[in-house]
Amino acid sequence: MPEQHPAGTAGRVRLDRWLWAARFFKTRAQAKAAIEGGKVHLAPPGTRADEAEPDGWPRPKVSKEVAVGDVLEIRRGSATQLVEVTGLAEQRGSASAAALLYRETPASIEAREAERARRRMENAGLRVPPRRPTKRDRRELSRLKHETREPREEN
């Protein structure tokens, strides 16, 4: 079912339509704004998804046509996804049909999960220090942990 394209396109779909049909963006206008804003990059022809390095990829135009096998880097908020196009569609369908249109690389999934875990820790108030604690830092931590608190006086 993912291979839905008009006879004139010969297996190609406009990038903004594909991003919308694959449910990366809610509207085609949002997809267009993301492409024009440099949030979407298209790998040069012949690039494989498993060995892709997105740095320096050209910014495509909204009307650029994508085909099966193309590799895209898509940034939405703080999340970056590296996906390979596995199907084409010009119409937005169900989420399960949209999931068949692309395959995310294992490295991209791993990086996204690591970023999610880091944000979750920061939201919980746990920040990873930029360096190892010094002897002084360890002493201060020890004082905080082993400090005896005196009970409050009740009036």
Query: Residue 148 pLDDT more than 90?
Result: no
- Cα separation, 2 vs 21, in Å, equals 10
pLDDT the model gives residue 5: 46
pLDDT the model gives residue 8: 40
Choice between 44 and 137, residue whose per-residue pLDDT is larger? 137
pTM over 0.75, yes/no: no
Instruction: For strands 65-66 and 13-14, give the pairing.
Output: antiparallel
Contact yes or no for 28/17 (Cβ under 8 A):
yes
pLDDT the model gives residue 16: 94
Per-residue pLDDT tens over the stretch 5-52: 443 446 889 999 999 999 999 999 999 999 999 999 988 877 776 666
Per-residue pLDDT tens over the stretch 94-117: 999 999 999 999 988 998 898 888
SS3 state of residue 33? helix
Query: Residue 82 pLDDT more than 80?
Result: yes
Average the pLDDT over each of 19-23, 56-60, 73-77, 135-139 and give the range with the smallest value.
56-60
SS3 state of residue 87? coil
Choice between 68 and 121, residue whose per-residue pLDDT is larger? 68
Query: Residue 67 pLDDT more than 80?
Result: yes
In sequence order, what E strands does the chain have? 13-14, 40-42, 65-66, 71-76, 79-85, 102-104
DSSP 55: T
Query: Residue 136 pLDDT more than 90?
Result: yes
Residue for token pair 């495509």? 60
Average pLDDT, the chain: 84
- Cα separation, 66 vs 45, in Å, equals 11
* pLDDT band of 57, cuts 50, 70, 90: confident
* The domain defined by 7-123 carries CATH number 3.30.1330.180: no
